[in-house]
Structure 1
Amino acid sequence: MQQDGTEPPFQRIVARVRAAITAGDLRPGDRVPSTRELMRSYGVAMATATKALNTLRQEGLVEPQPGIGTVVARRPRPRAAAGAEGPEPLDRVVSTAIRLADTEGLAALSMRRLAAALGMPTMTLYRHIAGKDELLVRMTDAVFGESPLPGADTWPGWRAAVATSARLQWGVYRRHPWAAEVMSFTRPPMAERAMAHTEWNLAALERAGLSLPVAMHATIMLANHVRGTAVNLEWEATAEQDTGVDNVEWFTAQQARFTRITAGGRFPTMRRLAALGGAAVDYELDTIFEFGLTRILDGLAALIG
């Protein structure tokens, strides 16, 4: 959600289309506006329009129709009456929460919002999961389980082992940017599949000759590099969704201010770097992640050697 309390643009689009379907203005089978039509009508970026349609699909309100486009669902997801629900499978609760966090961001995920997506009263949801803390642990465990670590019988050398773990973690954050906000080493979620990475790295570094305390510090350093870089993924996605401005557009808009600040001579090195042109430095997060990972591995190699 935006800091001023207003709804992000994609949520306003979702609310209007949802209201039209509820009121009967859009009936089952009716075509809903396409991504480009939403962009023109609401003055939003493609990412925002796409996210709005994805959210409506996940709520079961619309569905793709080959040769036509996106239409109002002919069989909308049923909303059970209060008190009439049967047991809700926990895996559906968790998978729905993951989809919401993926599309709307972690800040928008609440027990009330999740209950609405599941079509049940909020109090009924608490019969299946104790609260948001437990929900986040189960979500974290589920997404880390998407790309499990190799088996012990395929154990590589310490460097390849540590790099494997780091890249698998990066893949998790790439698919689910919100997960980087959940992970912490001060109050880590007790998610078994995430903890497996700590065990994996500790074992690899101890075999390489580090004491367990030093191996733990190295494991924390590695995890913080991955997570610290990945935190930008969620922030970047949220900023683009809320404003409709991507990174390139944002930097272009800031160029005049940057030039004015550096013109006084306080930042001569930064000014010379900027003069090299935008292609001089690759600011892609994947590149930054790999650069940092390689330097950390080099440092550990010196420590171990």
Structure 2
Amino acid sequence: MTERTQAPYARIAAELRGRIERGELRPGDRVPSTRAITQRWGVAMATASKVLATLGQEGLVRAVPGVGTLVAARPAASQGRRPATAEDDGAQRGRIVRAAAAIADAEGLTALTMRRLAAELGVSAMSLYRHVSTKEQLVVLMADAAFGEQALPERPPAHWRDRLELSAALQWRLYRTHPWLAGAMNLSRPLLIPNGIRHIDWALAALDGLGLDDDTRMHAAVTLFGYVRGHAVDLEPESDAARTSGVTGQDWMRAQETRLAALADGGAFPAFAGARAASALTPESLLQYGLTALLDGIAIRITTPPN
């Protein structure tokens, strides 16, 4: 019988059975309740009850009064399967991190809770703590995974300036992709994540051999990292504002044009009024202007010109 011709209860039971057998739902995890099944799959309560009854008859789940329906301690379908390994745990942690990042990307970091994440994955909130000890640790893993998405090339550009510009561009792209990421970083109490430190190491290597001492090189590398991150901090609030209001930042600025013109033309701010007419500010133009000024400042400190 194909999936299309299966009875709805059988199709849903097969999907949940597969998740249990693959280890996505482990012993002690909560399976979707009858109400959750009706909402997720759009079936009647009687059908949802039959789903859980079928899984119970197979020995895959058990009902616990006051708690819900849990994956059985020794599911019949798992007899003879190899025990979970560190590789399995890593795969589960990766799945959790990806799901958490998807929530944060779509709705912001404040929307991410362990309960919300568990619901998204169809597991109990407590089961998540087998793989991540706290939400704070989860955010660290998310940040490391995000920085790992943009690999720095094995063969970097030859010139130090091109190399630092490429690093800054990759970081900006990451912050654009994950608006929550900049707010999760902190230079006072930095996240010690390998993929983030890789950008620092890249910048230090780019500045090697230019007559700069180690302290100057470290300050330059961390300042570059902090500059891009600081410029990106506004991305999540802007994303939240656009999502909740339906008005983009550009639309908002256009709506303020009359008020802005009144301020500029009133005579109280003559320098501002004069420069305003010739300026077209965007997040990217501001980023590039500051980056150019930062790299120019590093350039004048170089005592050994690159080959």
Give the alignment's TM-score, normalised by structure 1: 0.68
Which of 125, 138, 158 is the matching residue for 1:122? 125
Aligned to 2:279: 281
Which of 264, 267, 271 is the matching residue for 1:265? 267
Aligned to 2:162: 160
Which of 79, 101, 104 is the matching residue for 1:101? 104
Amino acid at match of 1:219: A
Q: Is there any run of 5+ residues in structure 2 with no aligned partner, and where?
A: 1-34, 45-60, 63-67, 73-83
Structure 2 vs 1, CA of residues 190 and 82 (structure 1 numbering), >3 Å: closer, same or farther? farther
For residues 42-191 of structure 1, what are the structure 2 equivalents within 5 Å?
83-84=70-71, 89-151=92-154, 154=156, 156-191=158-193
User: Shift in Å at residue 82 of structure 1?
Assistant: 5.3
RMSD: 2.9
Amino acid at match of 2:123: M
Q: What's the CA shift string for 1:19-56, capped at 9, x where partnerless?
A: 9x7298x669xxxxxxxxxxxxxxxxxxxxxxxxxxxx
User: Shift in Å at residue 93 of structure 1?
Assistant: 0.2
Moved more, 182-191 or 89-98: 182-191
Which of 222, 245, 251 is the matching residue for 1:243? 245
User: Shift in Å at residue 264 of structure 1?
Assistant: 4.3
Q: What's the CA shift string for 1:53-111, capped at 9, x where partnerless?
A: xxxxxxxxxxxxxxxxxxxxxxxxxx996542897711100000111111011121121
CA contact (8 A) 2:168 2:225 kept: yes
> Partners of 2:302 and 2:130 in 1: how far apart?
50
Runs of 4+ in 1 over 3 A off after TM superposition: 79-83, 85-88, 259-264
Amino acid at match of 2:183: E
> What secondary structure is seen at the aligned counterpart in 2 of 1:207?
coil
> Partners of 2:105 and 2:121 in 1: how far apart?
16
CA contact (8 A) 1:158 1:207 kept: no
Aligned to 1:38: none
> Partners of 2:110 and 2:197 in 1: how far apart?
24
Give the alignment's TM-score, normalised by structure 2: 0.67
> What secondary structure is seen at the aligned counterpart in 2 of 1:286?
helix
> What secondary structure is seen at the aligned counterpart in 2 of 1:303?
coil
User: Shift in Å at residue 134 of structure 1?
Assistant: 1.0
Structure 2 vs 1, CA of residues 269 and 92 (structure 1 numbering), >3 Å: closer, same or farther? same
Which of 200, 206, 209 is the matching residue for 2:208? 206
> Partners of 2:229 and 2:127 in 1: how far apart?
34
Q: Is there any run of 5+ residues in structure 1 with no aligned partner, and where?
A: 1-17, 29-78
Relative contact order, higher structure (CA 8 A, sep 6+) = 1
> Partners of 1:23 and 1:220 in 2: how far apart?
47
Which of 300, 303, 306 is the matching residue for 1:302? 300
> Partners of 2:123 and 2:190 in 1: how far apart?
30
User: Shift in Å at residue 123 of structure 1?
Assistant: 1.3
User: Shift in Å at residue 266 of structure 1?
Assistant: 2.3
Aligned to 1:229: 231
> Partners of 2:200 and 2:241 in 1: how far apart?
31
